[in-house]
Amino acid sequence: MAFDLPFLSSKTPPLLGLDIGSSSVKLVELTDAGGGVLRLERYAIESIPRGAVVDGNIDKIDIVADAVKRVWRRAGSRVKNVAMALPASAVITKRIALPGNLREEEMEMQVESEANQYIPFALDEVSLDFQVLGPIPNAPDDVEVLIAASRKEKVEDRMAVAQAAGLNPVVVDVESFAARSALGRLVGQLPNQGEGLVIAVFYVGANTTSVTVLLDGEAIYEREQPFGGQQLTGDIARAYGITAEDAEQKKRNGDLPANYEAEVLKPFIDSTTTEITRALQFFFTSTPYTRVDQIMLAGGSSVLTGLPEALMDRAQVPTSVISPFKGMELASNLRERQLRLDAPALLTPCGLAMRRFDK
């Protein structure tokens, strides 16, 4: 098999979830509290300069590695094994059916042969892995297999960052898969484990807002649009004649003039609710579904004052900001107020940290 790392492999030692985004690196460590309960031991977030990571590509390995080193020190962990992820845009995934009685070596050969049809690169240029998802209901002798492939340099860049920071990369996942693992835990806590509910999860990030619509554990729709919290940072910089860096700092600290909420924040929240309701309309017009039962908000900008209320009012759908750590124990040294603000942005690193407990 051509893959350098266990892309989707199941047995991993104690490890940290490390998420490299366009504006920050985030780290999460979970442990087993017993009785099926997870415990959040520590987490940290470290911002990175604009332009170090662009469209999921690491353009400045040394700068990002320094940020990873700082985030690891800030978290105070002793664990050096990390699970990382590639953006979905950097990974080709395909579900295929294969005979269920194949030995592993035979399955590897079949996967490589199938992958040749779907991957527009030579196989020696890609990192490739697969995972058997399970039997196919209407074809009892076959199994469904998920193939994942990415250009080797995308994987190697992330490995290089972790290694330059003194860490040991042991798993490379896909960001959307990792986030969905964390979401699966939350949906499982809903009445009836969310059965039959159409749940739209909007992740409002720095540069993009993504929507994943879930039904009974499956993603039935995914889309990304170029709109995010950096726009609010730009609005603040223009309104008050300051640099983007200062605007970002003041936005995080809440250190803004009295007219900020009415004149800068409210128009941004109006734009965000318009973008999200437009995304819902795309979902309704491009799928057979005509309803959404629940909206979950995540990402750094989801905690902006008034956003969930404005969206609930506009979309007429129950809306909440989510924390991937709901139902977990929290280590005593964590500051709960700060965690409430940070948690919605930690879906992906939480899902990566959960890889430690994969069966």
How is the chain split into domains, by residue range? 16-91+153-184+328-357, 191-321
pLDDT at residue 30 is higher than 90:
yes
pLDDT at residue 10 is higher than 60:
no
Q: Per-residue pLDDT averaged across 279-296, rounded? A: 96
What pLDDT score does 4 carry?
A: 43
| 298 in Cβ contact with 321 (< 8 Å) | yes
pLDDT tens for each residue of 79-100: 999 999 998 888 888 888 888 8
What pLDDT score does 16 carry?
A: 97
pLDDT at residue 3 is higher than 70:
no
Alpha carbon dihedral 247, 249, 252, 258, in 10-degree steps, equals: -50
Neighbours of 221 (CB within 10 A): 18
Assigned superfamily of 16-91+153-184+328-357: ATPase, nucleotide binding domain (3.30.420.40)
pLDDT at residue 319 is higher than 70:
yes
What pLDDT score does 359 carry?
A: 67
| Alpha-carbon span 186 to 177, nearest angstrom | 15
What pLDDT score does 2 carry?
A: 33
What pLDDT score does 246 carry?
A: 87
What pLDDT score does 323 carry?
A: 96
pLDDT at residue 12 is higher than 70:
no
Alpha carbon dihedral 113, 115, 121, 123, in 10-degree steps, equals: -50
Name the least confident of 115-124, 224-233, 307-316: 115-124
Assigned superfamily of 191-321: ATPase, nucleotide binding domain (3.30.420.40)
Same fold, 16-91+153-184+328-357 and 191-321: yes
pLDDT tens for each residue of 40-62: 999 999 989 888 888 788 888 99
Q: Per-residue pLDDT averaged across 326-353, rounded? A: 94
Hey, is 220 helix, strand or coil? strand
Q: Which of 182, 172, 175 is nearest to 83 (CA)?
A: 172
pLDDT tens for each residue of 126-173: 888 888 888 888 888 888 888 888 888 899 999 999 999 999 999 899
Of the chain, the percentage scoring pLDDT greater than 70 comes to 96
| Alpha-carbon span 265 to 259, nearest angstrom | 9
